[in-house]
Structure 1
Amino acid sequence: MSTITSPPVTSRALPAELRVSLYETMVLSRTYEEAILREYHADKGPGFDIGKGLVPGEMHLSAGQEPVAAGVCAHLTAADAVTATHRPHHFAIAHGVDLRSMTAEIFGRVDGLGRGRGGHMHLFDPETHFSCSGIIAEGYPPALGMAFAFQRQGTDSIAVAVTGEGAANQGAFHESLNLAGLWRLPVVFVVEDNDWGISVPRRASTSIANNADRAAANGMPGVRVEDNDVEAVWEAARTAVQRARAGEGPSLIEVHTLRMWGHFEGDAQGYRPDLAELAGHDPIPAYADKLMAAGVLDDAAVERIHAAASERVEDAVAFAKASPVPDPATAHQYVFNERSTR
C-alpha cells in the first residue's frame, strides 16, 4: 500500500453548509486559544514567570493547526474516541468537549473536567471519549485499547489517535501501527506535521520526508495532506473513517500544518527562520477568503461567526474564573494513593 498525496479538493465542491461548519470550528478554536493566551500572560509579569498567575505552568497552544482537528472531527460522534497530544485544545473543541468544563480544568478549578487536578495537558472527558497527555506518543496505545473494545463490542465506533511528527519517531508510534495493522483495528492515526519537534526541524530528526510512508510497512494506507487544507483533510478523513467503521482496519493521515506560536508560551522561537512569514500562512483568513470568493460567506457572516465564537469563549472564561480553587484538604481525593488501596 503506497503513500497517497491528497490533492486539493477540486473535483467536487463540498456542500456550503459543511464548509461554513468547518470554518466555524476553526474560528472557535482560534478564538479560544487567543483568550487562553490573554489570560495566561495577564499576570505573569514583570518579565515572565512561568509559575505565576491564574494558569501557572506550561501552556501549549494550537494556533495554525485548526484545519487538522476541524477536518477530522467533522466525521466523528461522541461515541468515537479521540486521544490528543500535549497541544490538545483544537481537537477537544472540534470533538465537542464542553468549553466551560475544559476551561475550568485549565484554570485548575473544581468545576473542571478533572476537578482541577490535571490542567491543560491532561484533559479527560468521558462524555465525548476525549483524552490527552503530556507524554509524547502516549495517546496511541490507549486509542488502540478503545478501538479493540469497540471491535469486540461489535459497534461501528472508532478511535482517532493524534500525535506530532516528532512523536512519530517514538517506539509507541511504531508498536501501535504494527498492532493496529495486525488486528485490523478501527483506528485512524493522525500525524500533525508542523515542521518542529520543539526546536528541532523535522529534517534533522526524521530519516524520511513523509511519515505517511511508514503506514505501508504496517499494512495500512498512508495519506499526506499538504498546504494545511481543511477540505483536503476532510476528504482524507472521510475515507479513513469509512474504512475503519466498515471493519477494514486502520489508516494513517499526515497533515502538513503550521505552528504559528511557540512550542510553549514563553518560547522566543529564536531557532525559527520563518517567523516573519507566519501571518501570511494563517489558515483561518485564507479559508475565509476562499469561502467568500465562492459566495459561501460574506463579510457580515464572517463577523457573526467571530462574534458568536467570542461570546461562547468569554462565557467559558468567566465560568472558570468563578469556579472555586480546590481545597488543599482534598488533595488525596480523586487520585491514586496508598491510602486509597487499603
Structure 2
Amino acid sequence: MANTSARTLRLLSLLQTHRYWPGEDLARRLEVSIRTLRRDVDRLRELGYPVNASRGVDGGYQLAPGAALPPLVLDDEEAVALVIGLRAAAQSGLAGVAESSVRAQAKVIQVMPPKLRRRVEALRAMTVSPGWGGGAPDLGTDPDALVKVAQACRDAERMEFDYTAADGARTRRHVEPLRLVSLGRRWYLVAYDLGRNDWRSFRVDRLTEPARTGARFRPRALPAENAGEFVRQRVRGPQQQTVHEIQALVRAPAEAVRRKIGRWAEVAARGEDSCLVRMTADALEWPAMALGSLDAEFTLVDSPELRDYLTTWAGRFGRAVA
C-alpha cells in the first residue's frame, strides 16, 4: 500500500510538471504497466483530481482545471521558491493580493518539514526591506543560493562564492555575510570582503556556487545606519544603476494615499485634501503605476525624468483610443 501511495504521488507530480503525457512515456517513468497506470489515474480521479485521457496511438493523460484547487506536490526548491514569491507579493501593497499572500504564506510554512521551515525562516529573519525600489522581484536570482546566503548570515559563518562584476570580471570572494537586502527588483548581500578588507554589497543574481566554510566569526560594525541604508548608498553611487527621486503633490487625503502606496512611499499631509508623496525608484514604470492607481489628480515636483516618461505614456494612450 505504501508503494502504491508513493507511486500515486509521483504520478500527480509528473502530471503537474507537464501539460500532456503520452501514456507509454508516463508508464515508463513510473516503471509500471499501462494497466497499472490506468488504475493509478482512476485513484487520482477518486481523490478529486480531474485527469483527462485521450485514446488512440498517441493517447495520453493531462491534468485538467477543476472546480476547486487540489493539493499540489512540490519539491524542496519549488516550496522555498513559492514562499519567496509569496513574501514579495505580501510586500506589494496591492489591494487583495498582499493580504491573500500573507495567508497563503502562513499555510505553506505551516505544512513544511522542519528542515525546509528553518531555511525559509532564515531567509525571513536575515532579510531587510528598506522600502520602495521600483519593480517586481528579479526572477534571475537562484532561490537555493538565496537561502544558503541567508543561513550563513543567520549562523555568522564565513562563505565563499564566485562573483561576476558589472564589467564581466569573475572573481572568487571570501566574505563574512551580514544581511540580505531586498531593494526594488534586486536582492543584495551585505558582507565584509576578507580579500579586500572592506565592506561590500553583492547582487545575489551575480553570485554563483555559494559555499559555507564552517568558520564562524564575530560580526563587525557596519559603517552605515543599517544594511538597507548601506545598499542604498552603494546603489546611488556613480558605478551603479540610476536611482530616481520622485516627488508629487497629490490632491487626495494623506491617509487614503498611505493605505494604497504607503508601503513604498513617504506621504506627508499638505492640508486636509492633499499630500506630498516622495519615492525612490530604480525604474520609472512603477512610480507611474503607483501614482496612477491613486485615482486622484497629482502634480510632479522636480521629477523631470518621470515627467518625460508620463508624456510618452500619455501620447501612447491617446493614440490607442483615437
Same fold, TM exceeding 0.5?
Answer: no
More strand per residue: 1 or 2? Answer: 2
Question: Which one has a bigger Cα radius of gyration?
Answer: 2
**Bucket of the pairwise TM-score, normalised by the shorter protein:** under 0.3
Which protein, 1 or 2, shows the higher relative CO under an 8 Å CA cutoff with sep ≥ 6? Answer: 1
Please, what TM-score do these two structures have when normalized by structure 1? 0.26
